[in-house]
Chain A
Amino acid sequence: MSEKVENKKAESEQAQNQHPISMYLKIWLLLFVLSSFSYMVDYYQLQGVLRWSLILIFMVLKAGLILAIFMHVKWERMALKLVLFLPPGAIAVFIIFMIIEANYINWNRLVSYLTL
């Protein structure tokens, strides 16, 4: 019994180092397929909301796979995950501010061109 626990302990310590190579090949293939899909979005000239949503979906999936598997975040402790994923929340807020600002500037430019 204690031997089993010992084994499991050793396993969890070594877990991230002992993944089979086949796992990396599978993820690599998956990233290849996802990249092909996102290239297809452009190749077939999809437009509008469909284009934008597909681009974002493939982007998030690829980024998630790279982070989780290649960068081993999946096997890291929660304390590190918080360090990595909490601060970028500020970026999300910043992006929202910049969208509002960009729309405002665009509107002002259009108005000033009309009144010139």
Chain B
Amino acid sequence: MASNEDKPMEDKAWQGVVKDWSEDKETFNMPWGKLMMWFFLLSDTFIFSIFLTSYMNVRMSTTNDWPNVSEIFSLVIAGHHIPLILIAIMTFILITSSGTMAMAVNFAYRGDRKKTVILMVITALLGASFVGMQAFEWTKLIVEEGIRPWGNPLGASQFGASFFMITGFHGLHVTGGVIFISVIAKRVHQGVYEKRGYSIVEITGLYWHFVDLVWVFIFALFYLW
């Protein structure tokens, strides 16, 4: 840490930029893994933005009616027909997993290994249940509704292409995240990071929150629009 840290950071945000870039040391004062994760997430932002932009483009340019998304993802629960309920549940699950991950990061830096592992395991389980529900959703759409990437009986054929590409790519990210979190949780449990420090938990957390962040955009722009 530099010696002139006694002023609050807010007062010198822009001076800080000049200082960070001009000083004869690393520009970004953080573990390299964390910085690389941020760079990866920035590139991932571009990938998902391009998917969502192409979805916007085909939805705006098609002359066919867009299928009623609210109806497609409705479920009958206990005799009640509830629109979009599956997606709502998936949203709540992912937000909850993000909350438990944030707490895991906090406990990791406090050195509370047990709580960190428990919270990370809960996060991974919630993530796995999200993927499970997505598999159910895909099966329902493919088998029951006859939706394919090249067309569907409900309206604009672009719906299938956008749906499978966007949610499929997001689902892959969730699956990868579950594996990532599980591996790191196991290593935290083994005490691998006692000497190296626990920034790895924060890095894992950054990835997981990003997956949740992307879902916020997919939920709003694909499912609700």
Contact = CB atoms under 8 A, between A and B. Distances in A.
B42 A79 contact: no
Nearest to A40: B88
Given A28-B99, A84-B38, A66 B16 contact: no
Given A66-B98, A102-B61, A106-B63, A38 B220 contact: yes
A82 interface: yes
Nearest to A103: B60
Given A8-B6, A13-B1, A35-B91, A71 B53 contact: no
Interface string A72-109: 10010111101110011001001100110111011001
B99 to A, nearest CB: 4
Contacts of B62: 106
Contacts of B91: 35, 39
Given A17-B106, A109-B61, A78 B209 contact: no
B60 A12 contact: no
B159 interface: no
Given A43-B83, A102-B61, A59 B216 contact: yes
B129 to A, nearest CB: 17
Given A35-B91, A98-B53, A109 B9 contact: no
A72 B61 CA distance: 39
Nearest to A8: B6
Interface in A18-73: 18-19, 21, 24-25, 27-28, 31-32, 35, 38-39, 41-43, 45, 51-52, 55-56, 58-59, 62-63, 66-67, 69-72
B174 to A, nearest CB: 15
B84 A102 contact: no
> Majority SS of interface residues in chain B?
helix
Interface stretch (B21-29, B132-140, B164-172): B21-29
Interface residues of A, number: 60
26 contacts: A5-B6, A9-B6, A14-B109, A21-B106, A28-B98, A28-B99, A32-B92, A32-B95, A35-B91, A38-B220, A45-B70, A59-B219, A63-B217, A69-B102, A70-B212, A71-B206, A71-B210, A80-B38, A83-B28, A83-B39, A87-B46, A91-B49, A98-B57, A102-B58, A109-B61, A110-B63
Given A17-B109, A28-B95, A45-B70, 9 more contacts: A21-B106, A31-B95, A35-B91, A42-B223, A55-B220, A63-B216, A66-B213, A70-B101, A88-B49
Interface of B: 1, 5-6, 8-9, 13-14, 16-17, 20-21, 27-30, 38-39, 42, 45-46, 49-50, 53-54, 56-58, 60-63, 70, 83-84, 88, 91-92, 95-96, 98-99, 101-103, 106, 109-110, 202, 205-206, 209-210, 212-213, 216-217, 219-221, 223-225
